[in-house]
Amino acid sequence: MNKYLFIIACFFLSAMGGLAQTNDLTGEQLKEFQGRTLQLIKLFEKNISRLGSKNVKASLKPRIQRTTLQLFIQAGEPYIDFSGMPNTGVKMQVSNVRNGACVERLLKTYLSNLQKLRYARVEITSAETCKISNFYKIDDGLYEAVATIAQKFVGYNEAGIPVYIDLTHKSIKVQLRRVTLDGEAHWDAVLGDIDVLETRRT
């Protein structure tokens, strides 16, 4: 609810002698994108739950997966990063509380694997409120922030007994990039690599 800051900022900036035209975002615009990012992450968390659930029709899952990938850099496909280096696609770290292993997979692989879990029933829920840092300017046309989420995973056997439970805290890199689409330049908030911060039994 700090939108008035934008107006106040405009008021004082202009009172100081007019606005220079820059590619930088105002504090209020960054707040807008922060709010936008929270909504994207909410959708991501919800779709993880949908893809893992045995109650969601299998025929819907490719569409849900496609929508989920659209939230990420280059929709999860290979891309060239801001420094000009090729990247094979957004990665997701996955941990296992049993053996402590933490492996990295392409996000699109992770989402596909979620739909093939061997448990009779799966529940993946958001355990805590998502938090997002402020956006910091990294380069011309690029801001970054980090969001943290917590997911609770419960796998049940045929008898309805939970046989695997963990609580994982993850960080999601968020990029705010200046892009041009059909000749129109605009800022685009996209999600990036997801790392495991901590995994524990509950």
Partner 1 sequence: MKIKAFMMFAVLFVCNAIYAQTFHAVMFGATDDEGIGWSCKRDVKYMKIIMAEMAHAVNMNLVTYYYDGQNMTAGKLKSVLQNLNCQPQDIVFFYYTGHGGRAKNDSGTKFPQLLCKPTSDAWSDDDMIPVDYVSKVISQKAPRFYVVFTDCCNNENRIITPKTGMYTSKGATVIRETTKTLYQSLLMNKQGHVIVASSKPGQISNCMDYEPGMGMASFSFILEMELAEESRPDLDWNTLLAKVGKRTDLMAREQQQRLQEKVVGQEIVTDIQIAVVQSPASIPTPQPVVDKLKAALLSVIDRKAPDDIRLSRATAVLNGFFVSPDATVRIVGRDGNTVLEIEKASVFLDRIALTPLLANFVIIDKKEANGKIVSMTLHEIYTEIK
**Contacting residues toward partner 1, per CB under 8 A:** 1, 3-4, 6-8, 10-11, 13-15, 18-19, 28-29, 32-33, 35-36, 38-39, 42-43, 46-47, 50, 56-57, 60, 63-64, 66-67, 70, 129, 181-182, 184, 186-189
> In angstroms, what is the minimal distance from the CB of 45 to partner 1?
9
Q: Concatenate the DSSP letters of all residues of 63-126 into one string.
A: HHHHHHHTTBGGGGS-EE-TTS-EE---EEEEE-TTT--EEEEEHHHHHHHHTT--SSEEEEEE
Q: Of the two residues 50 and 170, which places its CB atom closer to partner 1 in the complex?
A: 50
The type of residue at 168 is T
Per-residue burial over 82-107, b if 16 or more Cβ lie within 10 Å, else e, is eeeeeeebbbbbbbebeeeeeeeebb
Whole-angstrom Cα distance, residue 199 to residue 95?
7
User: Considering beta carbons, is residue 121 or 177 the nearer one to partner 1?
Assistant: 177
* Closest to partner 1 by CB, 28 or 144: 28
Identity of the residue, 35 or 78, whose beta carbon is nearer to partner 1 in the bound complex: 35
Instruction: Give 37 or 95: the residue with its C-beta nearer to partner 1.
Output: 37
Residue 58: CB minimum distance to partner 1, A: 11
Are the C-beta atoms of residues 141 and 134 closer than 8 Å to each other? no
For the bound state, the minimum distance from the C-beta of residue 102 to partner 1, rounded and expressed in Å, comes to: 29
Answer yes or no: are the C-beta atoms of 188 and 142 closer than 8 Å: no
CB of 47 to partner 1, least distance (A): 6
